[in-house]
Amino acid sequence: MGYFAKFLGISAALLMLSATVVGAEEKDPLKARVPADQMSDAKANKNPVAATPENIAKGKALYEGKGTCFNCHGKNGDGQGEAGKVLNPSPRDFTNCKFHKKRKDGELFWIIKNGSVGTGMISLTPAIISEEEAWTIINYERTFCKGE
Ligand code: HEC
């Protein structure tokens, strides 16, 4: 093999390697995750926990503690938590306001309860947190969107 061909081969191998190590991305965050046949029920499932400052503070404590969410989604909600960095697809970036606009609370709740198939987002309710705690965390997750 000529030198140039070898160089090309090595560069291509390195590119592929870096793509697997640091190239993980979110799977389209605007695409629905709840299966179509359960979507209307999920959307109709309203958050019973009021988004008061007290409940949002409780949600933050759960997100950063018992719920373990921060490990993957990051303390600041950007999806860059230590455990999340190695996941492909990447955890949801909750600072993305477009994502929040697209989702009803009931859809987020459905994912916390059932997980998102084929991703690191496994079912966390009821194993790790109760239903009420899941709704409480959802109120906190909404606050990561700072803009429109
Ligand atoms: C082990 C890592 C991990 C942990 C811990 C984790 N998540 Fe996730 N989460 C993910 C990944 C990965 C995705 C992206 C899934 C996808 O693209 O479908 C995700 C996506 C989500 C979504 C977006 C679903 C949608 O509609 O697109 C919500 C909401 C969510 N997580 C909430 C939580 C909450 C609340 C907690 C804590 C109680 C939590 N996650 C803990 C990895 C994690």
pLDDT in tens, 48-92: 999 999 999 999 999 999 999 999 999 999 999 999 999 999 999
Tally of domains within the chain: 1
**Alpha carbon distance 114, 6 (integer Å):** 48
User: Mutate which of 25, 85, 94, 116 to test ligand 1's pocket (most atoms within 8 Å of Cβ)?
Assistant: 116
User: Mutate which of 43, 64, 72 to test ligand 1's pocket (most atoms within 8 Å of Cβ)?
Assistant: 72
Type of residue found at 99: F
Task: Evaluate whether residue 123 is within a structural domain.
Answer: yes
Task: Evaluate whether residue 19 is within a structural domain.
Answer: no
Task: Evaluate whether residue 38 is within a structural domain.
Answer: yes
Task: Evaluate whether residue 8 is within a structural domain.
Answer: no
Task: Evaluate whether residue 20 is within a structural domain.
Answer: no
CA-closest candidate to residue 142, choices 59, 81, 71 = 59
Task: Evaluate whether residue 7 is within a structural domain.
Answer: no
Task: Evaluate whether residue 113 is within a structural domain.
Answer: yes
Closest protein CA for atom 1 of ligand 1: 120
**Alpha carbon distance 3, 84 (integer Å):** 39
**Alpha carbon distance 29, 133 (integer Å):** 23
**Alpha carbon distance 76, 71 (integer Å):** 11
- Give residue 136's domain range: 27-142
Task: Evaluate whether residue 18 is within a structural domain.
Answer: no
Which CATH number fits the domain that encloses residue 44? 1.10.760.10
Q: 128 phi and psi, to 5 degrees?
A: -105, -45
- 122 Cβ contact partners less than 8 Å away, ≥ 6 residues apart: 115
Per-residue model confidence as pLDDT tens digits over 81-140: 999 999 999 999 999 999 999 999 999 999 999 999 999 999 999 999 999 999 999 999
Residue 53 CA to ligand 1 center (angstroms) comes to 23
